[in-house]
């Protein structure tokens, strides 16, 4: 009898272990899609599914995301739980490539705008232009940032936040150059820079290196240069056109005359150190440094010593490159329906305005960009206006390779190691070769 009881207890124990393992496996299998249940306003229990979101926000931006955006979204959509994961930018692209290869991606991700076409070419992203409500969402967003999601006839994300570059002047040096207002044209900028350098400054036209096109495109484009045709399919005849040659020759002449900041060839001091210490009359940059430096108690607030203007107009107008981040859904997402709901919501007016006012990020939603409180930030109206004429860098998965080759050629020109026309001819041919692959 005693032996029978022992056998019975053993069987019961084994059964409990089996049930426990089975339940555990079931929970693990569903943990990526099922969140904690929530009680709605009517007292009904709502079963929630998880939306897994990888992002690259900084500390202040993440605080707004956690404390304001997440609660608001989950209140409006109680069927979803937003799981937020902050990803370090260093090495992130390779990490995402690995996740794509192993079908281990999140549902959606905030990514640099130049990555979108690359991952779209890999087949990693959902073409959101095929989803319900896309056209209505698209109409609410700035056209230029929206275009950075376009690839091969589809849109593989939505623009989450945007930025561009404007002209930032040291007010003291600008006044000493004889200007009470920022130069409106390239001719005026050249005149002011010449006067500033003659008065002792280290540079009157800011270019932060030649290794990235982002740094010199505002001048190149505004002076009439082009990269490609309108549909981004050909460099030959555009990058090496007479207009492009003339634009680059103008920038080169500024450098040879000593009007450009020494940062163009990696000289010192740095961009913001130079303008802060009254060495540089003008630089061009995005909006993020104002919040970074403004919160640094060891340095003066840049609003105290700078004034702002659009990129001075050249023959082609006032043109600056588009930067920013897009938000995309992965093909291997476990919750595509929830991810699309979040994409639509996150690019609507209210959350866009919340992020803008809380972080200084420029919204892609046109209504949010006109928020009165947001526009009271002194530099913001200039960025919003500059975006009206901003252009994307070539939205191709081969952009990284194209930019690397082009930038190397341009730097060799400015170091006197390569002929200017030869550099553009070679870069155009190489770029078209990349596009054809």
Question: pLDDT tens across 112-163, in order?
Answer: 999 999 999 999 999 999 999 999 999 999 988 998 999 999 999 999 999 9
Q: How confident is the model at residue 35 (pLDDT cuts 50, 70, 90)?
A: low
Over the stretch 171-228, which tens digit does the pLDDT of each residue have? 999 999 999 999 999 999 999 999 999 999 999 999 999 999 999 999 999 999 999 9
The backbone region for 209, taken as left when phi is positive above 0, alpha when psi lies in -120 to 50, beta otherwise, is left
CATH of domain 42-163+323-389: 3.40.190.10
**Three-class SS of residue 307?**
strand
- Please tell me if the domain spanning 42-163+323-389 has the same topology as the one spanning 166-321+398-436: yes
- Provide the pairing of β-strand 38-39 with 80-86: unpaired
At residue 5, does pLDDT exceed 80? no
Q: How many CA atoms lie within 13 A of 291 on its CB side?
A: 16
Average pLDDT of 316-330?
Answer: 97
Q: How confident is the model at residue 336 (pLDDT cuts 50, 70, 90)?
A: very high
**Three-class SS of residue 410?**
helix
Distance CA 351, CA 64 (A): 10
Percentage of the chain exceeding pLDDT 70: 89
Q: Which residue has the higher pLDDT, 166 or 25?
A: 166
pLDDT recorded at residue 25: 38
| Domain boundaries of the chain, sorted by first residue | 42-163+323-389, 166-321+398-436
C-alpha Rg value of the chain to the nearest Å: 26
Over the stretch 218-250, which tens digit does the pLDDT of each residue have? 999 999 999 999 989 999 999 999 999 999 999
pLDDT recorded at residue 60: 81
Q: Which residue has the higher pLDDT, 40 or 339?
A: 339
State the distance between the two ends of the chain, measured CA to CA, in whole angstroms: 80
Helices and strands, counts by H and E, the chain? 19, 13
CA angle at residue 22 from 19 to 23, to 5 degrees?
A: 85
Domain 166-321+398-436 in CATH 1.10.3720.10: no
Please state, rounded to an integer, the average pLDDT across all residues of the chain.
Answer: 90
pLDDT recorded at residue 59: 83
Distance CA 101, CA 122 (A): 10
Q: How confident is the model at residue 69 (pLDDT cuts 50, 70, 90)?
A: very high
Q: Helix %, strand %, coil % for the chain, to 5?
A: 50, 15, 35
pLDDT recorded at residue 16: 41
Q: Which own/partner contact pairs does 343-350 have at CB distance under 8 Å and 24+ positions apart?
A: 343/108, 343/128, 343/137, 343/157, 343/158, 344/133, 344/137, 345/73, 345/76, 345/77, 346/69, 346/73, 346/158, 346/160, 347/137, 347/140, 347/141, 347/158, 347/159, 347/160, 348/140, 349/140, 350/72
Range list of H helices, 31-161: 59-64, 70-76, 92-101, 116-121, 134-139, 143-147
- Encoded tokens for 216: 């010199």
């Amino acid at each position: 009898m005693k032996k029978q009881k022992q056998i019975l207890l053993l069987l019961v124990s084994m059964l409990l272990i089996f049930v426990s393992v089975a339940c555990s496996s079931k929970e693990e299998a569903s943990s990526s899609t099922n969140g904690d249940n929530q009680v709605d306003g009517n007292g009904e229990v709502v079963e929630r599914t998880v939306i897994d979101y990888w992002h690259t926000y900084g500390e202040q931006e993440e605080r707004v995301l956690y404390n304001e955006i997440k609660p608001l979204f989950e209140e409006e959509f109680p069927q979803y739980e937003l799981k937020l994961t902050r990803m370090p930018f260093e090495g992130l692209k390779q990490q995402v490539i690995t996740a794509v290869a192993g079908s281990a991606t999140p549902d959606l991700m905030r990514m640099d705008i130049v990555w979108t076409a690359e991952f779209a070419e890999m087949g990693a992203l959902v073409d959101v232009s095929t989803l319900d409500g896309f056209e209505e969402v698209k109409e609410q967003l700035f056209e230029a940032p929206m275009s950075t999601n376009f690839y091969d006839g589809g849109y593989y994300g939505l623009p989450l936040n945007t930025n561009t570059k404007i002209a930032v002047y040291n007010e003291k040096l600008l006044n000493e150059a004889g200007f009470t207002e920022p130069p409106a044209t390239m001719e005026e900028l050249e005149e002011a820079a010449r006067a500033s350098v003659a008065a002792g400054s280290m540079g009157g036209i800011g270019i932060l290196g030649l290794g990235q096109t982002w740094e010199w495109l505002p001048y190149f484009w505004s002076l009439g240069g082009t990269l490609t045709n309108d549909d981004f399919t050909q460099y030959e005849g555009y990058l090496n056109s007479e207009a492009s040659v003339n634009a680059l020759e103008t920038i080169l002449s500024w450098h040879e005359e000593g009007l450009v900041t020494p940062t163009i060839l990696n000289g010192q001091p740095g961009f913001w150190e130079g303008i802060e210490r009254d060495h540089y009359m003008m630089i061009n940059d995005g909006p993020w440094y104002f919040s970074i430096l403004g919160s640094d108690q060891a340095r003066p607030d840049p609003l105290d010593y700078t004034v702002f203007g659009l990129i001075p107009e050249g023959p082609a107008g006032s043109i600056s490159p588009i930067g920013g981040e897009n938000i995309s859904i992965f093909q291997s997402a476990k919750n595509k329906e929830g991810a699309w709901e979040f994409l639509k919501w996150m690019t609507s007016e209210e959350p866009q305005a919340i992020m803008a006012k809380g972080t200084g990020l420029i919204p892609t939603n046109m209504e949010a960009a006109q928020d009165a409180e947001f526009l009271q930030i002194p530099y913001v109206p200039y960025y919003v206006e500059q975006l009206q004429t901003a252009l994307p860098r070539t939205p191709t998965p081969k952009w990284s390779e194209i930019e690397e080759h082009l930038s190397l050629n341009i730097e060799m020109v400015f170091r006197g190691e390569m002929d200017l026309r030869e550099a553009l001819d070679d870069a155009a041919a190489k770029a078209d070769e990349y596009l054809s692959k």
